[in-house]
Amino acid sequence: MTTYGRGLRGLTLATITTNTLALALVFFYAPLDADQGFVQKIFYIHVPLAIVSLCGFIAGGLFAIGHLRSGDRRWDMRAYVAIHMALIFGIAALITGSIWAKASWGHWWVWSEPTLVSYLIVVLMYATYQPLRFSIEDPERQARYASVFAIVAGAFVPLNFIAVRLAQQYVHPRVLTLTGGHLPGSMRFTFLASLAGIALLFVTLWKYEMTAKDMRMQLRRARRQLLGDDAVRPLGRSAAPS
Amino acid sequence: MIVLGAPALPLHSAGKYVAGAYLVFVALMLVYVAIMARRLTNAERELSQLRRDAAARASERDRSPEDERQREPVG
């Protein structure tokens, strides 16, 4: 088992249990929203996905700092996987948000809404991360440039979030604030359970992906040691760290 | 316990949107897990190939000194 595989079984069980409990709370415990009714149930999946994806982008930036400071390529791998996962969660947040917008506002997308558009900008910005990596052939240079991108973009994420919060006009439902928000206790508990479930899912999938990548690297290394350089196929051009 | 005490879900017109949102999430996760499973299968196949190659290489190494000894002229 690789370093990242440690504790993976327990983490997987915790993720499954938390998400099952969160789903039960969403549909059988949390009361219906007085204003939006049943549609508000999307909130319990959409908002945690958005929060966790933004945290994933920031984590990618922090891992990238680790790479530039130490020169250790494992940090680049961690950053790559965190950003890759956060992008998937971000796309899920965009789709679920769009469905919520259609049900709530009657439109799939509202361009005048700052939270939606700023989130889209963040996701589109990170959508350029993989093509950027792919465009650089030299692995060392690729890792360095990708780390710089991850740090700058990672710093942009909270700035973007704060800027939107400071904006004057709000259309987006504002249910969470630093002082606790306007959620009743049962809804807040359900939301926190959903957030914990999605956060655990992110960490679990991140660890799985890291384990798989680490295992492939170890396999290549073992193959080279046992059978010599000729037995190992050269890696083609790739966006993923090698 | 929660399920037993649960009220009936109000699956009116809003239900399809809620179901859609949750299904999108589940579908994305399933696709991701399927890709991961395929990669894992490939890694396992590569590992078993590596074991076979290593075993073949080891038996080749064991056999070669014997062959050389047999080829040496006797007497």
Angstrom distance (rounded) from CA B13 to CA B18: 10
CA atoms within 13 A on the CB side of A15: 17
Interface of A with B in 137-196 (CB under 8 A): none
- Residue ranges of domains in chain A: 3-175+182-226
Q: Answer yes or no: do A24 and B10 touch at CB < 8 A.
A: no
Calculate how close chain B gets to A211, using CA atoms only, in Å: 10
Q: What are residue A2's phi and psi, to 5 degrees?
A: -85, 175
Global confidence as pTM: 0.83
Calculate how close chain A gets to B57, using CA atoms only, in Å: 8
CA B73 to each of CA A236, B68, B69: distance values in angstroms, whole numbers, following the listed order: 50, 10, 9
Contacts of A39 in chain B (CB under 8 A): 14, 17-18
CA B64 to each of CA B57, B59, B60, B67: distance values in angstroms, whole numbers, following the listed order: 11, 9, 6, 5
- pLDDT tens digits in sequence order for chain A, 242 residues long: 567 777 888 999 999 999 999 999 998 888 887 777 888 889 999 999 999 999 999 999 999 999 999 989 899 999 999 999 999 999 999 999 999 898 888 889 988 888 888 899 999 999 999 999 999 888 899 999 999 999 999 999 998 888 777 775 555 656 665 555 567 888 899 999 999 999 999 999 999 999 888 888 888 888 788 777 776 776 677 777 87
Contacts of A15 in chain B (CB under 8 A): none
Q: What is the pLDDT of residues B58-75, one digit of tens each?
A: 888 777 666 666 666 655
Calculate how close chain A gets to B73, using CA atoms only, in Å: 32
Q: Are A26 and A41 in contact (CB under 8 A)?
A: yes
Distance of CA A42 to the CA centre of its chain: 18
Read off the tokens for B1.
Answer: 């316990």
Q: What percent of chain B has pLDDT over 70?
A: 68
State the architecture of A3-175+182-226 in CATH terms. Answer: Up-down Bundle (1.20)
Nearest CB neighbour to B57, from listed A28, A102, A227: A227
Long-range contacts of B35-42 (CB under 8 A, 24+ apart): B36/A205, B36/A208, B36/A209, B36/A212, B39/A212, B39/A216, B40/A212
Q: Answer yes or no: do B6 and A27 touch at CB < 8 A.
A: yes
Q: Are A224 and A231 in contact (CB under 8 A)?
A: yes
pLDDT score of A79: 96
CA atoms within 13 A on the CB side of A215: 21
